[in-house]
Structure 1
Amino acid sequence: MDFRQLKTFSCVAELGSLSKASDTLRIAQPALSRQIKLLEHELRAELFTRNGRGMVLTEAGRLLLARTAGIVRQIDQIRDDIQSQAGAPSGRVVLGLVPTVSCVLSARLARRTVERYPGISLCIVESYSGHLIEWLHRGEMDLAVIYGPSADLHLSVQNLGRDAVVAVGPRGSGLSRKKQVDMDWLLRQKLVLPSHSHGLRTLIEHAAAKKKLKLDIQVEADSFRVLTSLVEEGLGLALLPPSSVRDEVAGGKLETAAIAKLGPMRELIIASPIDHPGSAAIAAVTALLRSETEACRDEGLWDIKLA
């Protein structure tokens, strides 16, 4: 296997199409197809199933991608760093953001990156912490802002700050009139939460276990937008950072109330793979991430307590 073949394989796997990979790599489709066939011949296994919708990874292809994605990313970054020595940072940075952070930070972070570092190609991936951690371990992502605790993650972590959680309900729920609710009362209500694999669910379940309460979870939603829309429909209450529903509250779609007696606080961390050497571009994006977080706090857009 040579790097060119692995690079081609990785690009086709990511885009699911030879034609899209051809446009991205600026290499003719027949040449890309030949590299894939040579790789399959060497490995004695088919890596893709070809169908009308494009190129779909086989089991062998998924295994190869899992083992080599991080290697391809690191070699690309070595090239980018060497080329960056004579000027501004350049190269591709894949950044993961949990949805409650993405809705506050992603657009302004992308704008600042484009303005200050036009040589950096920033790819923002929004998902829950469980998925982002998996992609970090596989080397498919350079860094991510996720919720802690950071113990046992087997990742390199930096503390970003702590984010408060409030009760969120639909218009007319009375939360805005209450202004503050007890955690005991809240945990006895019908709730809309993510599934068990996500940090917010774990946080709420721990709080309920301490009080020996059984949660009444009306609906589960592993999409932040779906979760807030279910709350709007009156299917249950949610627990979210106030910054993540600021627009919906201002528009009268949702109501919030603080949780009395110091409600749950969520630890936010910047995580990256332990064996990842990093790059000048990653360091630049990390610095921008911190400065934009601080700016959001100073502008009153994010009630975060910085580390």
Structure 2
Amino acid sequence: MDFRYLKAFIATAKHGSFSKAAEELNIAQSAVSRQIKLLEESINDELILRSSKQITLTPKGKEIFEIALGFVNQIDEALEEDHQKEIRVGIIHGLLENWFPDVLLSYYQKFDNNVKISIANFQKLQDRLSQGKYDIIFTPFNVQNDIMTSRLIFEESRKIASAKPIDMEKLHEERWIIYNQEDLILKISKKHSRRIIEVNSITSMLRFVKEGLGIAVLPDHMLRFEPDLNVVELPKHDKSPIYMSTLNYTVMPGYLKALIDEIVQQPPH
């Protein structure tokens, strides 16, 4: 069966008229008749008996009409409910606390979809997106493959933060709080500290700094609401990218595109 022509058949059977079906579908009456003929040819059976005054469904036509009407109605309902779909977001803790609320405030001025937000590390975010468990994730990684695609949404500077004044010439004398062995502080200081706390949680790093346990290089968005910390900018170093990743759709679903449009307009302040 050629499903492309089902709507023409359903509209004609429903109205008992080619002209009314054409009006509903906003196409020419001849196109309606032609589509039904092609549908009949695809199943090698007659669905409609035509006369100058009326049309009559054959037994096969009645059977297909009842089945097809429910099928098409379900498809239409699924397409019309984009505004009700839950959006599943995967994000790292720092972005959730210090950036994403602004996105949601802007989004909910126009739309009302439910949003489910989950926090995970970078690898789990990517794995769960590829498995279809998330609709959209945010990481520092630009992933481009057959399944996923990424888009740069902003770049942010990184700063050294401390609970006390910072002497850039004596960084090695402080205790360092690092995320991993690729942490930027290991690259900017010629001498390394012998006192190190390694923790793969950006929010824990900030908490440790606030408690006076040491110094850390943190992204700009983490320090927006920390006026009591001493902060030194690192202008000579590359900015840290943040990418938004989704499944590699040919056409982005409408409910997801609406959120993406708000995200693009909400870089960190």
Aligning the two structures, in what range does the TM-score lie when normalised by the shorter sequence?
A: 0.5 to 0.7
Q: Output one character per residue of 1:215-269: Cα deviation in whole Å (capped at 9) or x when no partner.
A: 6462223333322111122222111122312212x2x2x2210125x12311111
TM-score (norm 1): 0.54
Structure-2 residue corresponding to 1:174:
165
Q: Output one character per residue of 1:24-60: Cα deviation in whole Å (capped at 9) or x when no partner.
A: xxxxxxxxxxxxxxxxxxxxxxxxxxxxxxxxxxxxx
Note if contact 2:143-2:149 (Cα within 8 Å) is conserved in structure 1: no
TM-score (norm 2): 0.60
Structure-2 residue corresponding to 1:281:
255
Q: What is the Cα deviation at residue 288 of structure 1?
A: 1.0
1:247 counterpart SS class: coil
Structure-1 residue corresponding to 2:83:
89
Question: For the residues of structure 1 that align with 2:202 and 2:149, how far apart are their CA atoms?
Answer: 26
Q: What residue ranges of structure 1 are gaps of 5+ in the alignment?
A: 1-78, 302-307
Structure-2 residue corresponding to 1:61:
none
Equivalences, count: 197
Look up the equivalent residue of 1:165 and give its one-letter code.
R
Question: For the residues of structure 1 that align with 2:78 and 2:182, how far apart are their CA atoms?
Answer: 42
Structure-2 residue corresponding to 1:56:
none
Query: Which residue of 79, 102, 111 corresponds with 2:105?
Result: 111
Question: For the residues of structure 2 that align with 1:151 and 1:217, how far apart are their CA atoms?
Answer: 39
Q: What's the Cα RMSD here?
A: 3.5
Question: For the residues of structure 2 that align with 1:190 and 1:204, how far apart are their CA atoms?
Answer: 15
Note if contact 1:169-1:238 (Cα within 8 Å) is conserved in structure 2: yes
Note if contact 1:88-1:117 (Cα within 8 Å) is conserved in structure 2: no
Query: Which residue of 255, 263, 280 corresponds with 2:237?
Result: 263
Pair 1:274–1:135, CA change in 2 (3 A) = same
Note if contact 2:177-2:196 (Cα within 8 Å) is conserved in structure 1: yes
Between the two proteins, what is the percent identity of the paired residues?
A: 11
Q: What is the Cα deviation at residue 274 of structure 1?
A: 3.7
Pair 1:255–1:81, CA change in 2 (3 A) = farther
Note if contact 2:171-2:193 (Cα within 8 Å) is conserved in structure 1: no
Note if contact 1:192-1:237 (Cα within 8 Å) is conserved in structure 2: yes
Structure of greater Rg = 2
Note if contact 1:98-1:129 (Cα within 8 Å) is conserved in structure 2: yes
Structure-2 residue corresponding to 1:228:
206
Note if contact 2:157-2:234 (Cα within 8 Å) is conserved in structure 1: no
Superposition pairs of residues 53-72 of structure 1, within 5 angstroms: none
Look up the equivalent residue of 1:225 and give its one-letter code.
T
Pair 1:161–1:110, CA change in 2 (3 A) = closer
Question: For the residues of structure 1 that align with 2:153 and 2:116, how far apart are their CA atoms?
Answer: 20
Question: For the residues of structure 2 that align with 1:143 and 1:241, how far apart are their CA atoms?
Answer: 21
Structure-1 residue corresponding to 2:187:
207
